[in-house]
């Protein structure tokens, strides 16, 4: 597809055919040379055909092919005249990342690293269909879906400070459990406090480089510091919510007065019964995910304390931030100089809100939102900070990770004859995993260069580098 260069980090996909707006892609020229980019670019164009879309169909530098929307896609729709699409959120609703700092430095942990990662592996259930020790009654599950991370804290899994440092305080208030199917509820009963499979992980890292001393200080980060990062979502419950509504909207779309170029873009007008039902069901799954990550971090705190023989106060494992990257949010944005109520879809994209944003907790309002960008398990991850330019250009959005360049099938083929575990150990990284093919599917070569991805969003000004983290140990599903 023909792209027009705007600058070194932005490209325009011109408005043609049924597109209502152009596409804007954040990438370097080298990223766009790959033939595999053709399919996600078509998806950018397809999203641009949907009613009520505002300004542009956007794609971040970690863009790759997804269901309907590209992963790395961002699209905002007018709240009154636009659509909402499950494909614009994804199957793992509120899949997200949280990062915690500690008082420890690498020399405190390295001698006992194997013991520590083994203990995390034993105490955090992972893998496809994994279940945990929390068995929810029907009444308690409803509370989880309505209260999110606050429910977890009320049960002793963490502190009020964790809530303050979580996007939206870990709860979307519009959750309506009457919109959730019995099958979804059943799948959620026994999976709270579990990691899941695939690219979900728990990672022990070290702050290798600080780029912005002021922001790092406010976030509680310093060079040499040991960190904990985890990536998980709404598990089987969120998957089922997406599946249920995709099936329903595939039928509903036939009743609407517009055509879609791809059935995977099945959607509903936001203000319709179907649209509101999905938005409220999605909120239930999002709240489940926030509760899940809250419990996972609390479990990790306990493991660190026990394994290292250090009390919680001395450990000081404090949450830096929890961000989600598969979500649709009701947000006010300035469009052509006027405030406008929108529904922003971020699929494999993360909020990047600037200093002064009312959505941020008091601690971060002076500097901007922490943005957590995990890489592959063999290289690095980054912490960035949100900017005003992101609010002006991308509805306050940035990338969410490295982005795949190889499918899971292709990754398994590419690593035949190699020992990914040994390659990681040679870099000083310990790995533990559950699925038989997990390490092969998630090998570093399967992902884009995280530093190049981050350089794009930093150079474009839609988020700014604060710190670089290197992995020490990783637990994969």
Contacts of 432 (CB under 8 A, 6+ apart): 117, 118, 120, 121, 473, 474, 475, 476
Can you name the residues that pair with 58 across neighbouring β-strands? 24, 74
| Other Cβ atoms within 10 Å of 338 Cβ, number | 7
Q: What is the DSSP string of 39-71?
A: HHHHHHHHHTTSTTB-S-EEEEEEEE--SSSPE
Asked if 96 and 199 touch (Cβ cutoff 8 Å), the reply is: no
User: 333 catalytic, yes or no?
Assistant: no
| Dihedral pair phi/psi, residue 19, rounded to 5° | -65, 130
| Dihedral pair phi/psi, residue 329, rounded to 5° | -120, 140
Q: What is the DSSP string of 226-257?
A: EEEEEEE--HHHHHHHHHHHHHHHHHHGGGSS
Asked if 179 and 284 touch (Cβ cutoff 8 Å), the reply is: yes
Question: How do strand 57-64 and strand 23-26 relate by DSSP bridges?
Answer: parallel
State the catalytic residue, choosing from 298, 325, 400, 458.
400
Contacts of 439 (CB under 8 A, 6+ apart): 420, 421, 431, 433, 476
Which residues are marked as active site? 400
């Amino acid at each position: 597809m023909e792209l027009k260069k705007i600058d070194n980090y932005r490209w325009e996909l011109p408005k043609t055919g049924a597109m209502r707006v152009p596409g804007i892609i954040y990438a370097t020229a080298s990223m766009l040379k790959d033939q595999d980019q053709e399919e996600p670019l078509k998806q950018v164009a397809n999203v641009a055909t949907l009613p009520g879309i505002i300004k542009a169909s956007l794609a971040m530098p970690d863009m790759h092919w997804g269901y309907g929307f590209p992963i790395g896609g961002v699209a905002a729709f007018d709240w009154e005249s636009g659509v909402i699409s499950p494909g614009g959120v994804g199957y793992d609703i509120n899949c997200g990342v949280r990062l915690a700092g500690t008082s420890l430095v690498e020399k405190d942990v390295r001698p006992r690293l194997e013991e520590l990662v083994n203990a995390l592996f034993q105490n955090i259930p992972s893998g496809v269909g994994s279940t945990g020790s929390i068995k929810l009654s029907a009444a308690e599950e409803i509370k989880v879906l309505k209260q999110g991370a606050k429910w977890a804290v009320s049960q002793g899994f963490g502190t009020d400070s964790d809530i303050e440092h979580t996007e939206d305080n870990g709860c979307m208030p519009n959750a309506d459990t009457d919109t959730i199917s019995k099958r979804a509820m059943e799948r959620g009963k026994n999976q709270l406090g579990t990691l899941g499979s695939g690219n979900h992980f728990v990672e022990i890292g070290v702050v290798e480089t600080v780029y912005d001393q002021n922001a790092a200080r406010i976030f509680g980060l310093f060079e040499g510091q040991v960190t904990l990062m985890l990536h998980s979502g709404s598990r089987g419950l969120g998957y089922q919510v997406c599946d249920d509504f995709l099936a329903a909207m595939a039928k509903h779309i036939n009743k609407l007065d517009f055509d879609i170029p791809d059935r995977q873009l099945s959607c509903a007008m936001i203000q319709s019964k179907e649209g509101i039902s999905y938005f409220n069901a999605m909120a239930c799954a999002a709240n489940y995910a926030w509760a899940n990550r809250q419990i996972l971090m609390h479990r990790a705190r306990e493991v660190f304390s026990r394994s290292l023989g250090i009390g919680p106060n001395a450990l000081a494992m404090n949450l830096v931030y929890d961000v989600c990257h598969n979500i649709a949010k009701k947000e006010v944005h300035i469009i052509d100089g006027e405030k406008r109520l929108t529904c922003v879809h971020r699929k494999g994209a993360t909020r990047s809100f600037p200093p002064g944003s009312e959505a941020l907790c008091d601690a971060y309002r002076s500097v901007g939102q922490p943005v957590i960008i995990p890489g592959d398990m063999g290289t690095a991850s980054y912490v960035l900070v949100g900017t005003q330019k992101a609010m002006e250009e991308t509805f306050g959005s940035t990338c969410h990770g490295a982005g795949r360049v190889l499918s899971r099938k292709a990754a398994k083929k590419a690593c035949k004859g190699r020992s990914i575990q040994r390659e990681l150990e040679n870099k000083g990284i310990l790995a533990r995993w559950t699925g038989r093919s997990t390490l092969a599917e998630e090998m570093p070569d399967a992902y884009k260069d995280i530093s190049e991805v981050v350089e794009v969003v930093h150079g474009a000004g839609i988020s700014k580098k604060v710190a670089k983290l290197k992995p020490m140990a990783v637990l994969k599903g």
